Structure 1
């Protein structure tokens, strides 16, 4: 009886197995109609692709793909410089992709702006016009995009460009003309038409003067003003500008003739100020830094090449204990920033995330060690040119002491051994670390360098780097 039952059980198992094999063969042989997938599924898939892939590959597959790839959510914002670079990458990876010179042309530019003019909210073309040779006619296509709220035309230039934009793109909230070196005051005469403008970047537009500032007085919603590399503003004009724009939250200035009066006015009267940066002002004293000691909202402070700031004034800034929300502190080329300042900073700023002390020669390991012990949220440290830094007190277990650290620049630190930096990256490979000659430390894996099992036969002291990469050699 048991033998009969056993044979019957085996027979049933064999029949089930054959049936499964038959079903499997049917499944494999049945063609899949991919176009029968719901549109929502295809839109989800297309969402993982770059705009270059959508425009130059997907749209040429079939009519359905062409339509779905133009879905407005993929084209709310276009970064033309990124599109240009992504296309070059696609052409390098796929030689069969027929694109002349691997560039986004003026024709592509106009067609895209025309196709998405009613849905585009962001157009970023910084540097793009120069790389692709866009002419006046193509740049004028921007004026058809009346719904855009963000526009970056950095390093581009066209006569009457700002006038045309101001009269057409009245919804703009964010405008950047960084590096448009030919722009003059009169080019901004109609900027008051941009009533929604919240952020304006004119950094490195060197021809701008006080007259330009007067055109900004009537902008009712301006919150961020960035003018790094614009050096012809005077104290009187800047103070009047701030008086007319008391709601400013971000203020970035530059200029060797700017004095403490501007900084003190900003610290005392801009009640919503969270970011303040000043560069290359030889007239500033410690009063400028001390003026921020009561600003509980300040999150980012930067004084670049303001060499007259004293250790006492910097200590007073932190000893007041009010700027506990400070997340970024940057001072370059200032001998007044020393270990005492860092000790005071470490007690006051537990939320610090970024610290830049480039060319502040009086800082040593002692001061840096104090900050590392107290500011556990640090993600970025720059200590370029600090020849007094040796690293023994803080570098050995830095990856453990600062678990959030992502960036360390130790360029021109001639007393800091590169070997210690290499060891640090070997322990935490996600770190971006630069050595004395500003070489990026690269830890190559056996797979990346194509060496495979051959490495097992090499000495542990052998050094390797990823092929094609420029960086300091790193041992496995």
Structure 2
């Protein structure tokens, strides 16, 4: 009998089991009926009851199911079925099999079997499937309760992509089709009709997405909260301005936007940012009128803005971003034409009497200003004074103008940091890094790749004092770690920017 690999999970971990290739393709039988037909050599339910006060096997079947809902997916997949026939049956009840993660090399027949055996599937993760052709699109029609689908980088033909869109259930809230080259206007047109409640859509690196696609999304998806267009290089100024006219923007639902600035001009981006700022201000004024004592205004408008390839951005656009005062996450990469003064305007501005400073983006928790020649010590000091004590992620890769003065300020002010990345800074000596155990006790990742002047002794001492800290040296190797502890550039940012539900994928 042929065997294959299948994984089921409710977290980022994957668990493997072996399943027969023999498959029922025509209908989905109730799982309890299937279990009653299967013969096993498992012991009866009471054989493992050794103490007189053990009553779990006497509980009603429904109560047992409710208890099992609190167990990790790994136990439900491996350990629980092996206890006895009763627990085997319980572990296969559809209400406990609502999340599924498939490995990329799983055979096509097992893809179908896995989905058919889970009639209450809500979350499906199958990244980069190699054998999904003619199977996945048809199998999705059996997932009538699906809320989250993550099929990034899976190879599908244009025909299969259209079939996929037609079979998507109206319950779908989160969709990740990152890297699918066959996603185009026909798919988008069908998607907005089939899934009107969609809240998160990841079209990153879907190279056939165009301005017309963005117009359809803007006009039809009124509940959209997160939209990822990073890596979609052929969207122009016209396309992004469609977004500012969307109901999702005007009602404040669309809070997270990822863009690729490759084909966007400074004037187009500036107009886009200005419109976002004006919409946010109208929302703030409306809420303040109704609830003047409420602090809800902090959560209105754009919360996360990501723009890669900011080669065309100039000071005017940066200064407009300062009006998005509720931002909690900001990424501006490769701002080659932006001056230090403009970057500082994101954080502080002088009051009319020039005696006090007003903090601007004071709610930032995530900041990435990589490849910005304008980021110098002055900008870093302004950043630290504005939002330094809130930041949990700070990425300043290839910012050569930062010296040890700026690094010292970061270490002594940014006390909540979990990740600090300074890739490519060849000027700093990093003396202040020795204070991390006291000043930044919760730091998890310190990325110092290509930082050639930092002493190995500093890094080794730091790694010794904080054994749970991942310190990556000049070569990308973990200091004090094993041979497999190699830094993957910006892996955390990749995870952050994928807009999928937080429950499992």
What band does the TM-score fall into relative to the shorter chain? 0.7 to 0.9
For the Cα contact (< 8 Å) 2:137–2:167, is it kept in 1?
no
Which residue number corresponds to residue 346 of structure 2? 317
Cα-to-partner distance string for 1:249-301 (whole Å, 9 max, x where unaligned): 11110132212334334433332101101111321112222212232210111
Which residue number corresponds to residue 396 of structure 1? 434
Aligned CA distance change for structure 1 residues 225 and 36 (closer, same or farther; 3 Å): closer
Which residue number corresponds to residue 177 of structure 1? 177
Aligned length: 395
2:69 is aligned with 1:69? no
Give me the whole-angstrom Cα distance separating, in 1, the residues matched to 2:162 and 2:366.
33
Which residue number corresponds to residue 430 of structure 1? 468
User: Which secondary structure state, in structure 1, belongs to the residue aligned with residue 345 of structure 2?
Assistant: helix
2:50 is aligned with 1:50? no
Matched ranges for 1:139-150 at <5 A: 139-150=137-148
Which residue number corresponds to residue 406 of structure 2? 367
- TM-score scaled by length of structure 2: 0.72
Residue 386 of structure 1 deviates from its aligned partner by 0.4
Which residue number corresponds to residue 262 of structure 2? 256
Which residue number corresponds to residue 106 of structure 1? 108
Aligned CA distance change for structure 1 residues 166 and 291 (closer, same or farther; 3 Å): farther
Give structure 1 stretches of 5+ with no counterpart: 1-28, 85-102, 444-465
Give me the whole-angstrom Cα distance separating, in 2, the residues matched to 1:404 and 1:122.
32
Cα-to-partner distance string for 1:22-41 (whole Å, 9 max, x where unaligned): xxxxxxx9956988364656
Residue 105 of structure 1 deviates from its aligned partner by 3.9
Residue 369 of structure 1 deviates from its aligned partner by 1.3
Residue 55 of structure 1 deviates from its aligned partner by 4.1
| Aligned pair partner of 2:153 in 147, 150, 155 | 155
Which residue number corresponds to residue 214 of structure 1? 215
For the Cα contact (< 8 Å) 1:356–1:382, is it kept in 2?
yes
User: Which secondary structure state, in structure 1, belongs to the residue aligned with residue 305 of structure 2?
Assistant: strand
For the Cα contact (< 8 Å) 2:127–2:153, is it kept in 1?
yes
Give me the whole-angstrom Cα distance separating, in 1, the residues matched to 2:273 and 2:168.
36
Give me the whole-angstrom Cα distance separating, in 1, the residues matched to 2:170 and 2:224.
14
Cα-to-partner distance string for 1:210-240 (whole Å, 9 max, x where unaligned): 1221221221111211011110000022112
Aligned CA distance change for structure 1 residues 188 and 157 (closer, same or farther; 3 Å): farther
Which residue number corresponds to residue 334 of structure 2? 305
Matched ranges for 1:233-252 at <5 A: 233-244=235-246, 245-246=248-249, 247=252, 248-252=254-258
Matched ranges for 1:115-126 at <5 A: 115-117=117-119, 119-126=120-127
Give me the whole-angstrom Cα distance separating, in 2, the residues matched to 1:139 and 1:442.
47
Give me the whole-angstrom Cα distance separating, in 2, the residues matched to 1:296 and 1:471.
37
Cα-to-partner distance string for 1:119-146 (whole Å, 9 max, x where unaligned): 222111112x22xx23312442112111
Give me the whole-angstrom Cα distance separating, in 2, the residues matched to 1:30 and 1:338.
68
Give me the whole-angstrom Cα distance separating, in 1, the residues matched to 2:94 and 2:463.
43
Which residue number corresponds to residue 294 of structure 2? none
Which residue number corresponds to residue 417 of structure 1? 455
User: Which secondary structure state, in structure 2, belongs to the residue aligned with residue 277 of structure 1?
Assistant: strand
Aligned CA distance change for structure 1 residues 146 and 265 (closer, same or farther; 3 Å): farther
User: Which secondary structure state, in structure 2, belongs to the residue aligned with residue 148 of structure 1?
Assistant: coil
User: Which secondary structure state, in structure 2, belongs to the residue aligned with residue 253 of structure 1?
Assistant: strand
Give me the whole-angstrom Cα distance separating, in 2, the residues matched to 1:32 and 1:134.
50
Larger radius of gyration: 1
More helix per residue: 1 or 2? Answer: 1
Give me the whole-angstrom Cα distance separating, in 2, the residues matched to 1:160 and 1:241.
28
Which residue number corresponds to residue 28 of structure 2? none
- TM-score scaled by length of structure 1: 0.76
Matched ranges for 1:289-300 at <5 A: 289-300=318-329
Which residue number corresponds to residue 20 of structure 1? none
Residue 177 of structure 1 deviates from its aligned partner by 0.3
Which residue number corresponds to residue 375 of structure 2? 337
Give structure 2 stretches of 5+ with no counterpart: 1-47, 281-300, 350-358, 488-505
2:426 is aligned with 1:387? yes
Aligned CA distance change for structure 1 residues 267 and 199 (closer, same or farther; 3 Å): same
Aligned CA distance change for structure 1 residues 162 and 74 (closer, same or farther; 3 Å): farther
| Aligned pair partner of 1:377 in 416, 419, 429 | 416
Aligned CA distance change for structure 1 residues 63 and 319 (closer, same or farther; 3 Å): same
2:135 is aligned with 1:137? yes
> Alignment RMSD, CA only?
2.6
Cα-to-partner distance string for 1:346-382 (whole Å, 9 max, x where unaligned): 1111311111110011011101211222221111110
Residue 343 of structure 1 deviates from its aligned partner by 0.7
